[in-house]
Amino acid sequence: MLKSKTFLKKTRAGGVMKIVREHYLRDDIGCGASGCAACGGAHEGPVLEPQPLDPASSLCPQPHYLLPDTNVLLHQIDVLEDPAIRNVIVLQTVLQEVRNRSAPVYKRIRDVTNNQEKHFYTFTNEHHRETYVEQEQGENSNDRNDRAIRVAAKWYNEHLKKLSAENQLQVIFITNDRKNKEKAIEEGIPAFTCEEYIKSLTANPELIDRLACLSEEGNEIESGKIIFSEHLPLSKLQQGIKSGAYLQGTFRASRENYLEATVWVHGDTEENKEIILQGLKNLNRAIHEDIVAVELLPKSEWVAPSSVVLHDEGQNEDDMEKEEERERTLKSAVSEKMLKPTGRIVGIIKRNWRPYCGMLSKSDIKESRRHLFTPADKRIPRIRIETRQASTLEGRRIIVAVDGWPRSSRYPNGHFVKNLGEVGDKETETEVLLLEHDVPHQPFSQAILGFLPKMPWSITEQDMENREDLRHLCVCSVDPPGCTDIDDALHCRELENGNLEVGVHIADVSHFIRPGNALDQESARRGTTVYLCEKRIDMVPELLSSNLCSLRSNVDRLAFSCIWEMNDNAEILKTRFTKSVINSKASLTYAEAQMRIDSATMNDNITTSLRGLNKLAKILKKRRIEKGALTLSSPEVRFHMDSETHDPIDLQTKELRETNSMVEEFMLLANISVAKKIHEEFSEHALLRKHPAPPPSNYEILVKAAKSKNLEIKTDTAKSLADSLDRADSPIFPYLNTLLRILATRCMMQAVYFCSGMDNDFHHYGLASPIYTHFTSPIRRYADIIVHRLLAVAIGADCTYPELTDKHKLADLCKNLNFRHKMAQYAQRASVAFHTQLFFKSKGIVSEEAYILFVKKNAIVVLIPKYGLEGTVFFEEKDKPKPRLIYDDEVPSLKIEDTVFHIFDKVKVKIMLDSSNLQHQKIRMSLVEPQIPGISVPPDTSNMDMSEPERKKKKLQK
């Protein structure tokens, strides 16, 4: 049956266009109940069970299916995902509404409906002759959809009576809309709210904890006291943004200070790019990463960013007087030029909440069901949840979702989602840091693995088309020990004309990952491989990363080669690119390669090739540094693991050899050569990488720090910075130069991927190169795969596809890649921090030399070179008399009693693991030298080795 709708539409040119929409209605759409004779098996895919054996409901004891409305699907997805909830009918009307309102929830629903064990059935009610409803005159689309859902529920109940008169199968309508529920009951449809139904499942009391609490009215009455001002409606916010009264931006909470945040304003305006917010009322219930509307305060109320470190640790959750007192500590006398544009949040444009990992802070009130949850991410406020399992969840990592934040509540409300495991357990903590940094880490699905080549794999004649056979070349790879995903290999040989041929051969991953398939989409989503201390989260399945794409020795492998002809002075005479087949003659570690180069007795082909490469690399590096490339430093650490327990037993800073630099030089050269080629060929849609020059204000701290040691650092160009860092040497303080380079690294901007057609500034500041890209690591970076595809099209080795030449699609891809790379970096740091804690847990207390990196108002941040470890020494502690502190921002310096601390001063600190806060176990540092009465501690005090909980336990045992 065909229904058609006709309407007239005015075109831009002023004409009138008649539009006819056709809508087909069918009789052959199945109800989803397996064994239904009336439908005759018209349904495909997962179906409903004929005898649902779901948990017994005290409200509806007979067998039943559930039919939720849109809001239940949107807000109670955590409940629906629980294994206890099965046999659910998802209407097309509901699914379409969910799709329009929340992409993440829509994806989760699709995953649940694809899970055979859950028996979720999608019923196409909009195309079924008996369940389709037309919008009536004067009826809005919301009411029409509600009616369509009720019609479908009623049809189901009548239809199922035919299926089994004796079983009395029912369909229960689940809705939280009071009016809709009343209408359903009037029409004879069994209907309950989500809460009523879940509470009736007496065998599954834990499900109640997963209910999203949405009734804000109850909380308003209960507390009575309004803390926050009302958020303006979206229409008013949009008007205000248009008129310039409000600014739209992304809310960024502070890790150091829960009463302070910044808003990064969207758009290209240079002024008021960053707005400071101070105080709970001005933060007005925004949560990290929300899109907000901000009103600028008058200049007389502007503030300066505070240097105070404040964490929300109060137990009394609604003590506002105390909060106001803490807010006053932020405001201190500052010079006019320190003041920054300051504002307050007037409304939320888009919430960017996600499920948060953390721990339960159990309420002191006995039998209380209301508790505070403390997220692991210090930028997220604590969340109030209701749970009956508080005693079992104590000391465990859990996931909680936010439901809302009423005006009368000091904290947002949320609900329990999942128990991850014991705090401090290695598996649990790794899971937490992957979830917190949004690293996709679930195993590759069968749909993705289906696109891998079938084993045993070998190179075919078809593979050899458009490829050069370079298996005769003496190619070798140089990597860190234990590396299985070998991306790159090198060769160097003398040509008959006396010049040198140098080749960089990169794994040809784009041969195996074809555009647009499930494997390609998943690799693009992951964006990068994430290396944790003991684990690698691959971007591509292991068959590719550690086998078919890895350029292992003595096996034939497909590669993409960049080959130069150079003279002895490392000047490039010719460059060519080709797809190739190589056979690596050796997989060496940096140490092995170095040993060969230095050996007096070894003169085989591989060693000769390495020596040639090393000689050229030194010339290339010297030339690059002369141009103004920066050699910065960051203390990287390596853990030595116990082979049985896999716990860290030693911690060292990484040693860099000449061979590290050799490989790096040729990778840089290949990246630059490829960048030039793809930009020549595709000026509008080359994927490039740039490193913006930092604004001068970023360097203030570096310049001041050097000045305090009577050194001058020039920062007007990268060249002058590089030269002044080279000159900044102190014979009596050899480590000073490294410290300056570490500090200079902190001043830098983040390097980012971008599409050449969307930007004019291509310059890479750190490498002093006018153009740059990533080509050399396609096994672990998706950007390189795109660059390989562009280069393959440029040299005629592969065909193009529409997305490759769409600059807007490419710009979106770059946005995701930049996000994934940043998150991977943070996850790696978090992994190092966790393993450092494990190391010091077993090591006990140690005292080490350290250097001051930053001085704050009430603390100093120090770096311990031996361990490459950074930490904060606080001078104000709870329940201790406050010392006399004088902070001078100009120098910068901090005077404690009669001792003055400057950046780069050498101090001695005691390091221990502080486990008093299980959630945020941290390395605690206290000052040993210089000795300040009442502040410094003796080098080791063994009773402090114990965590607070353990000390209490010992007292009890006595």
Please write the tens of the pLDDT for every residue from 663-702. Answer: 999 999 999 999 999 999 998 889 999 988 888 877 777 8
Euclidean distance between CA atoms 433 and 537, whole angstroms: 12
Whether 239 and 201 share a structural domain: no
Q: Residues 913-918: contacts with CB within 8 Å, 24+ apart?
A: 913/837, 913/840, 913/841, 913/947, 914/947, 915/841, 915/947, 915/948, 915/949, 915/950, 916/947, 916/948, 916/949, 918/359, 918/395, 918/423, 918/424, 918/949
Would residue 318 count as lying in a domain? no
Q: Give me the pLDDT at residue 140, please.
A: 85
Euclidean distance between CA atoms 36 and 121, whole angstroms: 14
Whether 642 and 709 share a structural domain: no
Domain end point (choices 716, 731, 747): 747
**pLDDT top residue among 605 and 636:** 605
Q: Give me the pLDDT at residue 21, please.
A: 72
Instruction: Locate all alpha helices (DSSP H) within 426-516, ordered by sequence.
Output: 426-436, 446-449, 461-464
Of 359, 355, 371, 354, the closest CA to residue 425 belongs to 359
Whether 711 and 599 share a structural domain: no
Sort 223 into a burial class: Cβ within 10 Å, 0-12 / 13-18 / 19+.
middle
pLDDT greater than 90 at residue 894? no
Query: pLDDT tens-digit profile of 727-762?
Result: 777 777 777 777 788 788 878 888 899 998 888 888
Query: pLDDT tens-digit profile of 232-280?
Result: 888 888 888 888 888 899 999 888 787 888 888 887 655 558 888 888 8
Whether 668 and 700 share a structural domain: no
| pLDDT cut 70: percent of the chain above it | 85
Q: Give me the pLDDT at residue 575, please.
A: 93
Q: Give me the pLDDT at residue 773, please.
A: 93
Euclidean distance between CA atoms 547 and 558, whole angstroms: 12
Please provide the average confidence, as pLDDT, over all residues in the chain. 81
**Residues β-bridged to residue 900:** 895
- Cα dihedral 192, 195, 196, 198 in deg (nearest 10): 100
pLDDT greater than 60 at residue 640? no
Whether 577 and 550 share a structural domain: yes
Euclidean distance between CA atoms 90 and 482, whole angstroms: 49
Q: Which two tokens stand for residue 801?
A: 């596809």
- Three-class SS state of 374: strand
Euclidean distance between CA atoms 506 and 580, whole angstroms: 10
Query: pLDDT tens-digit profile of 503-519?
Result: 999 999 999 999 989 89
Euclidean distance between CA atoms 658 and 824, whole angstroms: 27
Number of compact structural domains in the chain: 5
- Name 381's Cβ contacts closer than 8 Å, sequence gap at least 6: 258, 287, 312, 375, 411, 412
Please, which pLDDT band fits residue 557 given cuts at 50, 70 and 90?
Answer: very high
Domain range holding 646?
446-691+752-826
Would residue 320 count as lying in a domain? no
Average pLDDT over every residue of 83-94: 88
Q: Give me the pLDDT at residue 782, please.
A: 94
Q: Give me the pLDDT at residue 637, please.
A: 58
Please, which pLDDT band fits residue 950 given cuts at 50, 70 and 90?
Answer: very low
Which contiguous run of DSSP H or E holds residue 349? strand 343-350
Q: Which two tokens stand for residue 725?
A: 């860092």
The domain that contains 136 carries what CATH number? 3.40.50.1010
Q: Give me the pLDDT at residue 524, please.
A: 93
pLDDT greater than 80 at residue 933? no
* CB-CB contact of 656 with 638 (8 Å): no
Would residue 156 count as lying in a domain? yes
Angle between helices 700-707 and 736-747 (to 10 degrees): 160
Please, which pLDDT band fits residue 378 given cuts at 50, 70 and 90?
Answer: confident
Would residue 546 count as lying in a domain? yes
Distances in whole angstroms, Cα of residue 133 to Cα of each of 10, 98, 130, 173, 286: 27, 19, 8, 18, 40
Q: Give me the pLDDT at residue 846, please.
A: 80
Domain end point (choices 747, 767, 782): 747
Whether 501 and 620 share a structural domain: yes
Instruction: Read off the amino acid at residue 283.
Output: L
Query: pLDDT tens-digit profile of 776-786?
Result: 999 999 999 99
* CB-CB contact of 121 with 88 (8 Å): yes
Please, which pLDDT band fits residue 949 given cuts at 50, 70 and 90?
Answer: very low
Per DSSP bridges, beta strands 468-469 and 170-174 are unpaired
Q: Which region among 86-100, 223-237, 325-339 has the lowest average model confidence (pLDDT)?
A: 325-339
Whether 615 and 682 share a structural domain: yes
Query: Any idea what DSSP says for residue 514?
Result: -
pLDDT greater than 70 at residue 944? no
* CB-CB contact of 817 with 786 (8 Å): no
- Residue found by looking up tokens 């007007």 in the block: 716
Of 891, 830, 895, the closest CA to residue 858 belongs to 895
pLDDT greater than 60 at residue 45? no
Whether 646 and 509 share a structural domain: yes
Whether 700 and 608 share a structural domain: no
Q: Give me the pLDDT at residue 643, please.
A: 54
Whether 542 and 582 share a structural domain: yes
* CB-CB contact of 401 with 385 (8 Å): no
- Residue found by looking up tokens 């311990």 in the block: 864
Q: Give me the pLDDT at residue 635, please.
A: 57
- Three-class SS state of 176: coil
Would residue 854 count as lying in a domain? yes
Euclidean distance between CA atoms 845 and 658, whole angstroms: 36
Q: Give me the pLDDT at residue 228, please.
A: 85
Average pLDDT over every residue of 410-439: 86
Query: pLDDT tens-digit profile of 866-878?
Result: 777 778 887 776 6
The domain that contains 379 carries what CATH number? 2.40.50.690
Euclidean distance between CA atoms 260 and 280, whole angstroms: 8
Q: Which two tokens stand for residue 378?
A: 């210090």
Q: Which two tokens stand for residue 291?
A: 């899109």
Whether 811 and 911 share a structural domain: no
pLDDT greater than 80 at residue 528? yes
The domain that contains 854 carries what CATH number? 2.40.50.140
Would residue 263 count as lying in a domain? yes
CA quadruple 415, 421, 426, 431: dihedral positive or negative? negative
pLDDT greater than 70 at residue 585? yes
Domain end point (choices 419, 454, 476): 419
Would residue 85 count as lying in a domain? yes
- Residue found by looking up tokens 């221990």 in the block: 912
In 675-744 the beta strands, taken as DSSP E runs, fall at: 687-690
Q: Give me the pLDDT at residue 946, please.
A: 40
Tell me how far apart the terminal alpha carbons of the chain are, to the nearest angstrom.
84
Would residue 31 count as lying in a domain? no
Q: Give me the pLDDT at residue 678, please.
A: 93
* CB-CB contact of 547 with 541 (8 Å): no
Whether 545 and 511 share a structural domain: yes
* CB-CB contact of 782 with 527 (8 Å): yes
- Three-class SS state of 930: coil
Q: Give Rg (Cα) of the chain.
A: 32
